[in-house]
Amino acid sequence: MHISPQRLILILLSTLVLCSATFANDKLLDLLLHKGIVNEEEYNKLKLESEKKFELSYDKGVNMVARNGKFNFKVGGRLMFDAAFYDTDKIELGDGTEIRRSRISVSGTISDDWEFEADYDFANNAVNVKDISISYNGFNAVNIKLGNFKEPFSLEENTSSRYLTFMERALPNVFAPGRNIGIGVNSKLKSWTWAAGVFGQSVGDEPDDDEGYGASVRLTTAPMDDDRRVLHLGIGASYRAPDDKDREVRFRERPESHKSNKRLVNTGTIANVDDYTTIGLEAALILGAFSLQGEYIKTRVDREKNFTDVDFSGGYVYGSWFITGESRNYKSKSGKFGRIKPLVNAGDHGGVGAWELAIRYSTLNLNDNVINGGIEENTTIGLNWYLNPQLRFMTNFVYVNSEKGGVHEDPRIFQLRAQIDF
């Protein structure tokens, strides 16, 4: 996107200054009435003239709300600072630090039925578009969304990075279609949710010929959904045809650590592709402070006549335990997980915040027929400290076992994260 970080931040700050001025004007009117400078009649008249102005609050982010209730505007953001250290075999991965995410977003509602969102990431000295969308909620229990957003596929992919149990998503996330430009519909029906959409390519993709296209659908159910007891089941499917000129696809994945750009498993470019289809199964169980979550994903790449079709697959399963007694926050309306709220924030009445211990096993197989992309299995141990709902620290230790073309690479990874969001 041809927009500088400085310009975007200036626009947002200008909006906040105007909102603050409006908020201050209300306080001034109250003070004038209290001091007797204006009488009750004059006060009410001035108050009525400001009917269309806004109120500013700081509850769960910076919020601007029109007094007539027709407009709501929120500024949010997230910052994630990572450090990673690699004990490697043959391939040097490179210890170091990075700003994993540096995002700012604006979202809100207009005239009750319309919603909007614009989310940008400024990490690595670049401006990357994340979610840019307009939604309509005027139909009964059905939402329609248009823009650049995540396709409805995979529990872990559709759970925000702010609320993930581990620092990085598991290996089979390589098959998730992620964000693309398209139109989608979704709905919540009692204990069920469904979502579907058709999509082109993502922001920034500029093919020389007709762009690729795809479609995704996700169905979830929560037959048990109490305060601290949840059973989640889901299935998703995604189809994609690559753009007309290249007709190719590639699958590769980092070893669940983002600092290094090296991939231990990589199919390379698979040419002569007609299309590829992905199927995913997902499940999660919450029993108080304990939870289990897992997914299995399989992708089939259909190639042109005289070329061999290939199948790849992957899965993960993990368990989580809140030592301090909290429970994961399940959002039944969207079939995904949300923010963790400590029972007592760190520093409040001697509180220590929330402490979570987790262990995950994940696997990815990119070998089939003529394609030798490799096999990787990871075991990750994680410890999370939530000081309050907006601030947490994370530690992950990853045991990696990979093999590609007869060469084994088994690094050990220790990584840390400091995260704040609003």
Mean pLDDT of 23-41: 68
Q: What is the pLDDT of residues 78-110, one digit of tens each?
A: 999 999 999 988 889 999 999 999 999 999 888
Strands (E) across 58-141 are located at: 62-66, 71-87, 96-110, 114-121, 128-139
State yes or no: pLDDT of 5 exceeds 60. Answer: no
Instruction: Please identify which residue in the block is written with the tokens 């250290």.
Output: 85
Mean pLDDT of 128-142: 91
Instruction: Indicate the pLDDT class of residue 39, thresholds 50, 70 and 90.
Output: confident
State yes or no: pLDDT of 19 exceeds 50. Answer: no
Per-residue tokens: 84: 């990673």
pLDDT score of 26: 62
CATH class of 70-421: mainly beta
Nearest to 400, CA basis, from 380, 367, 381, 378: 378
**How many residues does the structure list for the chain?**
422
Please give the Cα distance from 247 to 253 (Å, whole number). Answer: 21
DSSP per-residue letters across 370-417: TEEEEEEEEEEEEEEEEEETTEEEEEEEEEEEEEETTEEE--EEEEEE
State yes or no: pLDDT of 273 exceeds 60. Answer: yes
Measured between its terminal Cα atoms, the distance across the chain in Å is 24
Torsion angle defined by CA atoms of residues 347, 59, 168 and 81, in that order, rounded to the nearest 10 degrees: -70
- C-alpha atoms less than 13 angstroms from C-alpha of 214 in its C-beta half-sphere: 27
Instruction: Indicate the pLDDT class of residue 21, thresholds 50, 70 and 90.
Output: very low
Q: What is the pLDDT of residues 340-385, one digit of tens each?
A: 999 999 989 889 999 999 999 999 999 999 999 999 999 999 999 9
* Poorest-pLDDT segment among 10-24, 26-40, 110-124, 182-196: 10-24
Please give the Cα distance from 268 to 371 (Å, whole number). Answer: 8
Residue 331, sorted as left (phi over 0), alpha (psi -120 to 50) or beta, turns out to be: beta
Q: Which residue has the higher pLDDT, 29 or 200?
A: 200
pLDDT score of 207: 66
Spans of all domains in the chain: 1-55, 70-421
Mean pLDDT of 108-118: 89
pLDDT score of 125: 84
Q: For residue 157, which amino acid is it?
A: E
State yes or no: pLDDT of 27 exceeds 70. Answer: no
Please, what is the average pLDDT of the chain?
Answer: 89
Q: Which residue has the higher pLDDT, 107 or 50?
A: 107
Nearest to 280, CA basis, from 146, 394, 174: 174
State yes or no: pLDDT of 388 exceeds 70. Answer: yes
Nearest to 202, CA basis, from 122, 130, 268, 143: 130
Instruction: Indicate the pLDDT class of residue 304, thresholds 50, 70 and 90.
Output: very high
Give Cα separations from 419 to 214, 267, 353, 381, 394 (angstroms): 34, 33, 15, 18, 8
pLDDT score of 2: 47
State yes or no: pLDDT of 247 exceeds 80. Answer: yes
Please give the Cα distance from 159 to 337 (Å, whole number). Answer: 6
Nearest to 352, CA basis, from 330, 384, 381, 382: 384
Q: What is the pLDDT of residues 175-226, one digit of tens each?
A: 999 999 999 999 998 899 999 999 999 887 766 677 899 999 999 999 999 9
Q: Which residues, at least 6 apart from 26, have a Cβ–Cβ distance to it below 8 Å?
A: 50, 53, 55
Mean pLDDT of 289-303: 98
State yes or no: pLDDT of 145 exceeds 50. Answer: yes
Counting residues of the chain whose pLDDT is more than 70, the rounded percentage is: 85
